[in-house]
Structure 1
Amino acid sequence: MTGAERSVALYASDMPTGFSWSRGVTPQVIVWVMQGVDRLGFDDVYRSGMEVEYYRVLRLAGQVPSETRRWLRGRFPDRVRLGCVERAAALLTFRLGDHEPVSGFVGDDSFRVYRAYGDDVDEVGV
């Protein structure tokens, strides 16, 4: 998921508006993201995430049309909550990047693939 999609999902979740990141909350934030996706459906999260990303690009360029501002206010009426979920989505992206994937087999009994990461990549024969 993109950061914008995570923001959309978190906004729709039960995450408290006054949420503040602290040590050990990453699993709970992931649960809230999944809850938001369940409530909205992935298609809506995907489309809304694209629109949020489009808004962010326009905002950086200083060229946000009034209809885009109206859409954003209609979709995310609570500005405080929006700021809170944007911070949480950004921190979640940062925290998920801390974990290096582990080499090993993935798949089930019908189809398995060995994925190699880090130092294991040069040791795997094709």
Structure 2
Amino acid sequence: MPAMLKLAQSGDISVRDLTNMERTIAFYASDMPTSYRYRRADDAKLCAWIVQGAARMGLEELYRSAEYTSGYLLLWVNEQNTAGHDAAHRARFPESKRFDRAQTLASMVTFDHEISAAARARSDHQRFETARVDVAVAA
């Protein structure tokens, strides 16, 4: 059963209603120990941390932070990030080990808790665009 939380401004929300990046940001903001090691029986604990982090940040800030982070990672993967982008990302997530762990756990949660159509639609909407990158493939 997905973790549920009553948020006055947003109604009910479940882990299913968050994108993978939103789950990552929520994990980062939660009380999850940075050294946490995954255990199969911890699904309820993982969902509770996601919900806790989402509640701590508020949904609007969570969505905004996830969009910024997704945009940064798109720039990074396309090697278009600047020193300013890197500095802003480090300022937002000063504990890189914690951010990496949050990303891994968010992906693991997705195996048992699919992402809703509404969250996928929100994830598909990108405010950040990158320049076209042509890749030559050697034969």
1:41 aligns with 2:58: yes
Aligned to 1:100: none
What is the CA deviation profile of residues 17-46 of structure 1, one whole-angstrom value per residue up to 9, with x for unaligned ones?
011211111111110011001111100000
SS class of match (1:24): helix
Q: C-alpha separation between the residues in 2 aligned to 1:51 and 1:22?
A: 30
| Structure 2, unaligned runs of 5 or more | 1-17, 115-139
Percent identity between the two aligned chains = 32
TM-score normalised to the size of structure 1? 0.73
* Cα offset, 1:50, TM superposition: 0.4
Decide which of 73, 95, 100 is 1:78's aligned counterpart: 95
Decide which of 34, 37, 48 is 1:20's aligned counterpart: 37
Tell me how many residue pairs correspond in the alignment.
97
Aligned to 1:52: 69
Which of the two has higher C-alpha Rg? 1
| Structure possessing the higher relative contact order (Cα contacts under 8 Å, 6 or more residues apart) | 2
| Structure 1, unaligned runs of 5 or more | 98-126
Taking only aligned residues, the RMSD between alpha carbons, in angstroms, comes to 1.0
